[in-house]
Structure 1
C-alpha cells in the first residue's frame, strides 16, 4: 500500500495540490512525531495501570501504529508489519500466529481475486463493454450513467479501488478525446474516481478494507458475514450512492445543454471476438455466481476463487501468463491484511478488548447516547476520517476496533455499526491525497480537475451521503435483515 503522494509512478516527483509542506514543518515533524509517540506510550503506562501487562502493551502497539499511519511518511504496510512483529515479541510470544496469518483464508481469497482481475484486465473486456454500451447512446448524461453501471459491476471482479481506477484510464482517455469541452472532460474525470470509490461497497472484495472489517467483526464479536450477506446489504447502498453521485456531478459541473450534448464515441474493438466467446468472461461470471449461491452448494468462496483463477490461466485460455498476473497482484495489500490479522489476534489474546469494555465503555450502557445519535456519530467520524488518514484500509484498522467495542458495550447491532463505518469511509475525495484513484485521475491530462473542484464536490456529497447512510441504517438495512431472518 504505497502512499498516495508517490502513486502512480507517473506522479513521482510531482507535488499534488494540498500536499505542499514548508521546509520548517519538515524539520520539526520528526520531533513532534517522536514526542507524541513517547508521550502516548508513557500516558498509557500511567493512566491504564489497571490493565494487565499484555493488554497495556497491546494498546501501546496499537497507538504507536496509529502514529505511524497518520503522522509519518512511512509506508502503511511497513507500519503494520512492524506492529505485528512487536505484538508477537511483546504480547503473544507466539511466532506461529504471525506466520500463519499469511495462510489465512482471506489472504488466499484476495490473491485469487487479484489473479482473476489481472486476466480480466488483460482481456480488454471492460474497454469493449464501455465502447459497445456507449455506441448505442449519444448524450453525455446517458453515457455517464452507463459508465456508472459498468464500474459498479467491476467491484465484483477487481479487489482494489486502485486497480479498478488504473483499469479505467484507457476508457477515460477514449471518452476525453471526444468530449466537446473542458467542462465535460472535467465531469468525466471526477466521475471515474468517485464511482470507483463508492461502488466498492457493493462487494466484500471491492476494497481491502472490507476484508479487514469482516475479519475484525468475526474476531471481536463472533458475527460471521458471508459473501452473499454482504452483497444483499451492500449492493443497494453502493448502487444508490454511485448513481446519486453521478447525478450530482452532472448537475454540479455541467449545464443542462452540456448534459444533453451529443458525444460520438468510436465503436468497440471486436478483433478479439464477441464477449460471449471469451473464456475469461464466463470464468469470471461463474465465480461471481458461485459466490452468490454459496448457501445452495456450500463450497467455500475462497476455493471457488482459486479454481476460477487457475482456470483463467490454462494455456490457450488466459490472456496473460500466470507469472505476469502474480507480478500485477498487490502483494503489499496482502501483507498488510496478514499483519492486521495478527494484530487482531493479539488484541483478543491479551484481553485488551474485554478490559476496554469493562473499564471504559461499560458505563455507556446507561444510555448516554441513543442508538440514532451513536449511529450518526459513527457516520460523521467515518465521513471526515479521510481528511487525516489517507488510506482506506488504515482508516478501517484504526477506527473499527474501538467502534465495535463501543457498539458491544452499548448494545448496538455490531453488523449495522460496521456497515455504517465502512460505507462512510468509502467517501474520500475531498483532497488529492485522500485516495489513489483521486490522485490518478486528477493528473490525467492538463488540469483534469483542481483541488477546488474536489472540495466543491465533497461539500455536496458529504451531507447527501450522511443522510443516505442514516436512511439505510434506520430503515433499509433493518428491513432487509428482517426479510432474511
Structure 2
C-alpha cells in the first residue's frame, strides 16, 4: 500500500514539475494517437507511420529539440514497433535529396573560397544603401534564375554561398529572415516557367497522355510570369512584415574602397574555373531529359570536378568539411518519414477520400470548383512532402475529376500544378527550404515558416482565384 502511495506521489510531483507547454504537446500526441486508431481503411503500419509523421511536424514547430534528432528518433520508433524494416533507416541515406545537398555544399564552398560569392555579394550590395533595397535586388536575381535553372534545389544551391556572404552585412536576427526569404522566393518564382519544376513536365505529360491536350512553353510563360511576379512581391512584403526585427538599422554598411576594388578587378583563375563548372552544371541540369541523369547525380559530378587535385578549385578535405552533416542526417530521416506515407498507402487513402468529396460538386458554380481544386493542391504539401510525388499522385485523379464533371482538363492541370507549387509550411516539403534549415551560418526555425504560411497560404489561394477570374480568362483560360 505504501509503495503504491509513493508511486502516486512521485507521478503527481512529475506532473507538477512538467512545464505547461510539454503537457500540451503530450496531450496533442495522445489525441492524435487515439484519432488515428479510430480511422478505418489504414492498417497498423500506416497508422504508426502517420502518427510518427504528425509527431515530427509538431515537435519541429513547437520545441527546440534538434530537428535531426526528432526525425531519426521517429524513424527508429517506426522500426521498433514493427511498423517498418530497419532498411527504412539505412536506405534513407540513399535518397536523391541527400546526395543533391552534399554536392550543393561542396559547390557552395568552391563559390565561397574562389571569391565569386564575395564578388556577387558586393555587386548586390552596391545597388542600394538600404537593407530593403539589397534584399529586393537579391530577390530579383533569385527570381530571374527560374528562367535558366530548371530546379528549385539547384537554384538554392547556387544562391546559398552568396547569401552566406551577404549575411555578414546583417545582424543574426536579420540573417534568419534572409534564410527564409531566399527559398520562399525560389518557390514562388517556380510558377513563372514550364521548366521551373519537374512536376510541371510530369503534369503536362499526364495531360497529353490522358486528355490529348497540352500547354506550350509560351502559353505557360504568358500565364505564369505575371502571377509569379505578383506572389513573389506579396511574399517579399509579408516576410518582411512578419519576421523582420523591429527598430533595427535600415541602412546597410556601404561598399568600402577596398571592396569596390575587389568588385572592379578582373576575375582570378579560381573564379573563372568556378564559373565554368557552374555553367557545365546548368547545362547538365537543363539537358536532363536528353542524357537521362538526374539533378542530384549531375550535382555530384560537379562536386567531384571541383575537388579534383590540380584541376579543381578546392581540396577533398575542404569540400567534405563544408558539408553540414547535421543537416544531411535530418534531411535523410525527414525524407524517409515523408516517403513512408506513400509506401504505406496513407497518401492513396487521403487522395481517394479527397477526390471522392470533389465528385459531390458536379454542377457547382465555377468559383466553387476552382476553390476546391486549390484547397486540395495547395494543402497537399502537408501530407505529400515530395513535389514530384504530389504531381504523380494527384494529377491523374484530378484529370478523372475534370472529365467526370465536364470541365477543361488543361485548366485543371495548370491550376493544380500552380497550387502544388506552394510548399512553405514545413521545411521537409521542399528541397530549397531544407537546404537553408538549421544550416548554421544562415538558418531559420520551423516556426518561422508556420508564421508566414498562416497568412501567405490564404493570400496565395486568393491570388490564384483573382488571376483566374481576370487575367487568365482574358488570355484564354476557361474551365
Regarding TM over 0.5, the answer is yes
Query: CA shift at 1:163, angstroms?
Result: 6.0
Query: CA shift at 1:248, angstroms?
Result: 9.3
**3-state DSSP of counterpart to 1:425:** coil
Which of these residues, 258, 272, 279, is aligned with residue 273 of structure 2?
279
Query: CA shift at 1:120, angstroms?
Result: 1.0
1:67-146 pair list within 5 angstroms: 67-90=58-81, 93-132=84-123, 146=137
2:42 matched to 1:43? no
2:305 matched to 1:311? yes
**3-state DSSP of counterpart to 1:120:** helix
Report which of the two structures shows the higher radius of gyration computed on alpha carbons.
2
2:344 matched to 1:350? yes
What is residue 184 of structure 2 aligned with on the other side? Answer: 198
**3-state DSSP of counterpart to 1:269:** helix
2:355 matched to 1:364? no
Query: CA shift at 1:470, angstroms?
Result: 4.6
User: Which digits, 9 at most, give the CA deviation of each residue in 1:1-28, with x for residues without a partner?
Assistant: xxxxxxxxxxxxxxxxxxxxxxx99712
Residue 378 and residue 49 in structure 1: after superposition, are their counterparts in 2 closer, same or farther (change >3 A)?
Answer: closer
Q: Unaligned stretches of 5+ in structure 2?
A: 1-15, 191-195, 209-216, 245-249, 403-411, 428-435
Q: Unaligned stretches of 5+ in structure 1?
A: 1-23, 174-185, 205-209, 224-228, 254-258, 383-392, 429-434, 444-450
What is residue 19 of structure 1 aligned with on the other side? Answer: none
- Root mean square deviation of aligned Cα: 5.8
Cα distance in 1 for residues equivalent to 2:28 and 2:82 = 22
Query: CA shift at 1:288, angstroms?
Result: 1.2
**3-state DSSP of counterpart to 1:168:** helix
User: Which digits, 9 at most, give the CA deviation of each residue in 1:74-107, with x for residues without a partner?
Assistant: 2222222222233334465433343223112332
1:83-482 pair list within 5 angstroms: 83-90=74-81, 93-132=84-123, 146-152=137-143, 153=145, 156-159=154-157, 165-170=163-168, 192=178, 195-201=181-187, 241-242=231-232, 266=257, 267-269=260-262, 273-274=266-267, 278-358=272-352, 362-367=356-361, 370-377=368-375, 397=385, 411=401, 417=416, 419-423=418-422, 425=424, 467-470=462-465
| Residue correspondences, number | 400
**3-state DSSP of counterpart to 2:307:** coil
Cα distance in 2 for residues equivalent to 1:71 and 1:426 = 13
Cα distance in 1 for residues equivalent to 2:454 and 2:350 = 36
Residue 460 and residue 394 in structure 1: after superposition, are their counterparts in 2 closer, same or farther (change >3 A)?
Answer: closer
Query: CA shift at 1:332, angstroms?
Result: 3.2
Query: CA shift at 1:467, angstroms?
Result: 5.0
Residue 441 and residue 405 in structure 1: after superposition, are their counterparts in 2 closer, same or farther (change >3 A)?
Answer: closer
Q: Which moved further from structure 2: 290-299 or 270-279?
A: 270-279
